[in-house]
Every structure is written in C-alpha cells, then in structure tokens.
C-alpha cells in the first residue's frame, strides 16, 4: 500500500535548482534508503517532503492527499517526522523535558512518551534528569529516534543517522532501526553501506539533484560494489 509519493519534483534555492524531476515512493512499513555523494540533494529531498521547502514543480502526495504547500507543523501533525542530521536536541533542557515537549506536541501522556523512548533505548532512564547538551552524539541520536516515535507517526525521514558515530554506537542505532521495521515507514539518507545493505527494502541513488537508479533486487542491494559506484 503506497503511503507517500514524490512525483517529478523540482526544488530551487533562489535561482539555483537543487532537485530536478525527482520521483520516489514509500509503501506502508517499508525502509527506503537514499544514497549518493555529498551535495547530491539527499537532505534537500527530505526537507522538501517534511515541508521545510516547497517544490517549484511536481507533486508530493501523502495518504493520497496533495501536500506540496504544507508547513512542517502540518506534516508532523499528520504523522511525518523529520530527524535532523545534526543531532539537534534542546541542549539546555533535560532529557525528560525534551521528551515532554515532543509528548505535548503529539498530545501524548508523558509516561507513555517516556516508555516509547525507553523501549528502543533502555539506558535513557539513566539520563532523564541530565541536560541533553551533555549527552554524547550517539546518545543524542538515540534520543532523537525515540522522540520521533512519540505519537505513533506514520513516516520517519531520517538524515544520516550514523554519521560521525563510533562503531559501538552505530551498532545500537542499527538495532533501533531494525527494531522499528514494520512499525513505521522510513526514508533514510545514509552513507554507511553496511547499514544500507542490511536494512534496505529499496534503495534510490542520487547524483546532482537527480535520481540515477532505483535498486529493488535484494542481491543488488546487498552488493557493496554496486552501491559504492553511487558514492
């Protein structure tokens, strides 16, 4: 069942076109990965779906409804959550307060929200009253993933979840993404080929603002050599 459709969108920053004729689909329960070199337009694609940018041409459909001009708050309230690349937490607030803000926005009880985060990251209980700015990069990433699940979203847009993380933390993030299989649909921008090969249901390869290829065959997706040519 198709949940999200991006149909031949163009996106520009001023006069500079960043995305050209980009099309992508996401089915319910799927994990779709987007790969490509830096500057390929991957983050711009996620931000456009999330409502931070508006296509100059083309359509974005969510649950069959055209959402091209929707703001990020509307997208989030309808169940599309964007997890930033830069581990963006509220640094001066405690971990509990970070979760509380997400719970308030999602109209979910705080104890239920905390339970959702604890389910994917049990160690978070040790840090609930710690300022989020004091967490490591990996801990912030796990908090963000847990926080994004509050309110039972339909789609997560996750930008470079393993970037800059130590191997041990990457393994934890990997387990969380694996655990979320079937519970929420995901579009994930990722450069770590081991993660892509192990988790992807489909892969889109981007270059210079365009989709170069779509990989659907598991044998191709699990072949590092095929993916490497797009990086």
pLDDT tens-place string over residues 180-197: 888 899 999 999 999 999
Residue 123 lies in a domain: no
Structural domain for 50, as ranges: 2-87+153-228
pLDDT at residue 118 greater than cutoff 90: yes
Of the chain, the percentage scoring pLDDT greater than 70 comes to 100
Question: Can you name the residues that pair with 17 across neighbouring β-strands?
Answer: 12
Q: Would you place residue 164 in the very low, low, confident or very high pLDDT band (cuts 50, 70, 90)?
A: confident
Q: Determine how many CB atoms are found less than 10 A away from the CB of residue 163.
A: 16
Whether residue 6 lies inside any domain: the answer is yes
Task: For residue 161, tell me if it sits in a domain.
Answer: yes
166 within some domain: yes
In a domain? residue 112: no
Say whether pLDDT at 226 is over 90: no
Please report the pLDDT score of residue 14 as a whole number.
85
Q: What is the pTM of this model?
A: 0.93
Instruction: Give the CATH number for residue 204.
Output: 3.40.50.300
The angle subtended at Cα 89 by Cα 83 and Cα 90, nearest 5°, is 140
Q: What's the pLDDT at 219?
A: 92
Q: How many domains does the chain have?
A: 1
67-80: average pLDDT: 94
Average pLDDT over residues 67-89: 92
Average pLDDT value for residue range 71-82: 94
pLDDT greater at residue 26 or residue 169:
26
**Which residues lie below 8 Å from residue 97, measured CB to CB, with a gap of 6+?**
90, 132
Q: Does residue 49 sit within a domain?
A: yes
- The answer to whether residue 14 sits within a structural domain is yes
Residue 107 included in any domain: no
């Amino acid at each position: 069942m198709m949940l999200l459709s991006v149909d031949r969108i163009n996106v520009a920053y001023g006069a500079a076109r960043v995305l050209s004729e980009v099309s992508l689909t996401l089915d319910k329960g799927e994990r779709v990965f987007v790969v490509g070199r830096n500057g390929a337009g991957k983050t711009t694609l996620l931000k456009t779906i999330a409502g931070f940018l508006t296509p100059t041409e083309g359509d974005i459909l969510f649950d069959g409804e055209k959402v091209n001009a929707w703001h990020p708050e509307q997208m989030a309230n309808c169940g599309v959550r964007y997890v930033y690349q830069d581990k963006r937490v509220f640094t001066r607030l405690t971990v509990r307060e970070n979760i509380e803000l997400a719970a308030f926005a999602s109209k979910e009880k705080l104890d239920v929200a905390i339970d959702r985060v604890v389910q994917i990251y049990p160690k978070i209980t040790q840090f609930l009253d710690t300022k989020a700015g004091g967490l490591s990069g990996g801990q912030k990433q796990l908090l963000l993933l847990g926080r994004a699940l509050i309110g039972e979203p339909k789609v997560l847009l996750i930008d470079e979840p393993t970037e800059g993380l130590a191997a041990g933390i990457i393994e934890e993030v990997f387990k969380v993404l694996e655990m979320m299989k079937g519970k929420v649909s995901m579009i994930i921008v990722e450069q770590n080929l081991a993660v892509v090969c192990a988790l992807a249901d489909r892969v889109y390869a981007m270059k210079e603002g365009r989709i170069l290829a779509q990989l659907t065959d598991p044998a191709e997706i699990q072949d590092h050599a095929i993916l490497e040519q797009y990086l």
